[in-house]
């Protein structure tokens, strides 16, 4: 299939059933017990790239592509319709922690997309009745535009809008070139960072880059019901709805029980697909996730039965076993109908503001 044919198939599948996203990559990579040499490979020698490279999971797209392919295959085998590229932190800003140059960051995104494309196409060829899709993972940055980097100076920022925009622009170009079917701007803690990413996508498309669906996934950081930059669910939606996303939702930070009210609130107002991929509960005192597949699937399966969602998956602590259980729990369940589009002026700061037409 051509990419536009895959996009058409993705949209058609979303009307027929609840789609399944993959689960955590971090927990599965940790299980491999990798050492520094696995991350460095032959290319990233200590002489050229001093300091620790271990923990930079994105670089495995170059140095251990076999592991990346294995994880795509594991999640597709578990029932995922969509798998993410292993590029969550593959921007020049995030990768500056490891002193990687722009060419290396571009290569991570290209290789991540190539590996995912090959895996998705192989599974589609094997099971043509269930085509598989590839989402380009665009994660948050370690620097924020909406919040000060200095507690003594509210106006201080460690990065500019233009720098964030350019970092995302570089990542988006490489992911698109590598063959992803859609963009997943995920684990959004700062809506202004997200808006820089959206602008980068729109500008590149205006310049002739092939247009792809956009999936936007924010993060409610605690029981306050707000993102880290302070927005409520509705304010967050108002801030990004101009992008006309294919899907909007939340992931990470919370387990399914605590995330449900926020997904329910979004489901009432979003005129597009609603997606959710919670953690496997909250971490224990050792930072591990104890929630079992049947617990996670039972909770999100209830969301599906109540008509709240169109796409489900897992974030931190979830495994192929969690994804298989979720896929089974929602099999045959009708996907949510998007809310009617409202023709009103809707604005947002930390709170939503609406003016009836």
d(CA 300, CA 19): 13
Q: Using one digit for the tens of pLDDT, what is the confidence trace for 62-102?
A: 999 999 999 999 999 999 999 999 999 999 999 999 999 99
pLDDT at 181: 98
What does the longest C-alpha to C-alpha distance in the chain come to? 63
Q: Which residues belong to the annotated binding site for Zn(2+)?
A: 252, 315-316
Tell me: the pLDDT tens digits for 300-318? 999 999 999 999 999 999 9
Q: Are 289 and 279 in contact (CB under 8 A)?
A: yes
Amino acid 287: pLDDT: 87
Domain boundaries 3-355, corresponding CATH code: 3.20.20.330
CA geometry: angle 334, 3, 132, nearest 5 deg:
45
Whether 245 shows a pLDDT value over 80: the answer reads yes
Q: How far, in Å, CA of 269 to CA of 188, rounded?
A: 19
At 357, is the pLDDT very low, low, confident or very high (cuts 50, 70, 90)? low
* Model pLDDT, residue 302: 97
pLDDT at 27: 95
Please report, in angstroms and rounded to a whole number, the separation of the first and last CA atoms in the chain: 43
- pLDDT bucket at 156, cuts 50 / 70 / 90: very high
Which residue ranges make up each domain of the chain?
3-355
Give the residue ranges of the annotated binding site.
252, 315-316
């Amino acid at each position: 299939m051509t990419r536009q044919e895959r996009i058409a198939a993705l949209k058609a599948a979303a009307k027929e059933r609840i789609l399944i996203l993959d689960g955590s990559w971090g927990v599965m990579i940790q299980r491999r017990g990798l050492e520094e040499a696995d991350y460095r490979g032959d290319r990233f020698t200590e002489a050229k790239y001093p300091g620790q490279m271990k923990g930079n999971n994105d670089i495995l797209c170059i140095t251990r592509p076999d592991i990346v392919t294995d994880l795509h295959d594991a999640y597709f085998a578990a029932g995922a319709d969509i798998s993410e590229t292993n590029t969550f932190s593959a921007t020049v800003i995030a990768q500056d922690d490891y002193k990687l140059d722009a060419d290396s960051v571009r290569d991570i995104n290209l290789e991540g997309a190539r590996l995912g494309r090959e895996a998705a196409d192989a599974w589609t060829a094997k099971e043509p009745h269930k085509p598989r899709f590839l989402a380009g993972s665009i994660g948050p940055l370690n620097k924020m535009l909406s919040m000060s980097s200095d507690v003594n100076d509210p106006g201080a920022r460690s990065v500019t809008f233009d720098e964030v925009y350019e970092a995302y622009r570089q990542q988006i170009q490489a992911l698109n070139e590598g063959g992803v079917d859609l963009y997943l701007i995920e684990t959004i803690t700062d809506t202004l960072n997200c808006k820089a990413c959206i602008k980068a996508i729109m500008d590149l498309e205006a310049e002739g880059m092939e247009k792809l669906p956009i999936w936007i996934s924010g993060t409610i950081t605690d029981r306050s019901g707000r993102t880290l930059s302070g927005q409520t669910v509705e304010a967050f939606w108002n801030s990004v709805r101009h992008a006309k996303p294919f899907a909007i939702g939340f992931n990470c930070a919370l387990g399914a029980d605590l995330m449900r009210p926020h997904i329910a609130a979004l489901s009432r107002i979003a005129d597009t697909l609603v997606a959710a991929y919670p953690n496997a509960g909250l971490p224990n005192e050792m930072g591990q996730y104890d929630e079992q597949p049947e617990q996670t699937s039972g909770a999100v399966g209830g969301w599906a039965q109540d008509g709240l969602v169109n796409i489900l998956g897992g974030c931190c602590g979830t495994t192929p076993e969690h994804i298989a259980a979720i896929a089974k729990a929602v099999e045959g369940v009708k996907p949510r109908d998007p809310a009617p589009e409202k023709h009103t002026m809707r604005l947002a700061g930390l709170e939503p503001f609406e003016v009836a037409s």
